[in-house]
Structure 1
């Protein structure tokens, strides 16, 4: 933008300079032309009194003196055909002037001036001089060079002034862009300085108000997360007490485990909301051992798989396998994947879970023996989209965890004809 503003100002200055300097150049040539012709005319007219009164000898001396001191050659043509002064041809202009009329005529070589005057003998004489093209243009080229230099100087000054003005404008724009990038990175304390011009000051003020509003919304989110934790604490505690009060120890232990998972999930959701709200505090990115987390969650779901007569195939890489994901987030991701298997396939449909590692990612693959994803359905990875009557949030949680770690999610068909979900997680640098 800075260069464009400078080019625009220079182009405008060039147009204005051409509009003024071209007429000035034409005027300079006209002035030089008139000056040379007038000077030649005055030089010729200065001899009229000598031609009219002096004898031939005195006239010849006066003409020689005029030619010696003047810029233009003087020739006096007498009525008897003789001529005094510079050698010159008796042109049609001279012959016309012999009839008693003074003339100034443009020729191919310049301008010819003929002054008609009566001599001492009572005959008609003609004082003739000529102005060459070089004399007509004397000083014109220099004037043109000065005008061109003036135009260049004006354009240079305009470019300098435009660059100074554009620099201030561009600096304000870049500062606003920098503040917006800092806000996007989670630095919510970033603020723009209110600077000229007024339009940029208005943008900076609006950006600051937006940043303040974002802080307010995040503060409200933290408050709501805390309120959610407080509201769920009592019903969860009641549910835990009811589970512990069951007469069957095995059933009590199973229900208590489910309550514990529910409580941990709710706590993880609240912690994630608070962590995202305070993302500008510069905390170090969290990581966990994917091998341990995936193994622990698969073990948990294997109990339910046994109850529903599902075959579980496990192929997990040996740990530690650090990934750039918080432990609670990875656990929620695996729970969402396996929960979908139990929720969208019939009892008895087996599934397989594998964990492997390449140079930059850890790959979690879940295959099931269900009906799989419809070939034309791209919705499961979109938040709130589901073709099976569910909330559609499970795979969105998986996608968000993968993307936040620097990975991705792919939906494929398993070798058994069911669904395959491939989750790539970024490996953490320890």
Structure 2
């Protein structure tokens, strides 16, 4: 591209120089020749006038009387012819076969011929041509420098834009926010920056989905693995059927978890699918799954609250939020875990509390931020739980730091 820009610029300049210098050289050459001819003609007329005046005065025409008239230019040569008198020559005959010559004839038959060597004229023409050539060369040099500068000025942004596109292709979506003062190039830069923003958001969403999936699928897969181990270790057909039924429920939960993760990753916060469901069923299901895990850890699980509460939302999302809260208490808390339900105004509140040290004052409300954890964990569980709650039309809050009490607020049927 640089070579094309330089070549095209130089080609244009060469054409302009040729169209300008050649006619100018011809005009200047003609002007110089015309000026030389006019000077010789003027001197011939002047000399003829002097001769006529002397003839009218009756004076004899002698070379001594006319010799001073051509002394201003030693290269001029004059021949004066007067009828009845000897021919008078002034100066030296110019060298060359084609001198600049002018002949004038007077009223009494007298004739004056003035000649001048063409060498001064040719020298002036050469000087003019050298000057024009120098101007043309300087113009071409300036055009070449300008073409190189312009080529670099246009090629550098294109190189940077190509590097930006290459970085986008290699997975580095950071926008450069560079502009170059050229409308077309700035438009390309804006499009690439916008693409970088979109790609960055997509990559962030993909990484977030992968982290959320890894965290959210771990517990259901562990529970399913436990059921399959029970099936593999027993020969009792009734137990096999019971465990298989529970395993199928776990598979349905896995499917629902995956669907929820995909929906949440696309940020589809749509509560139009929210329906009334029995909150007790969700609590019972999670209590059965986690009670044995808590028992193995030497801890207990308590359920409190009025029965028969119906909340607005989706049972699958509430089950995932409750599982995340119980797992958080198991990993970071201590003592008994209490699942409590209550009614507050138009909301149904589902609380999870344990007897541990609670949330430190440094964390506070930041406990719901991603990658924020006080115990070297991933810091994903509570963040995903809050996202799921908000996507389902509810909200998840930390009601108390010591003892730790997390509360899920859901809409109440008829509230």
Larger Rg: 2
Q: TM-score, normalised by structure 2?
A: 0.49
Q: TM-score, normalised by structure 1?
A: 0.48
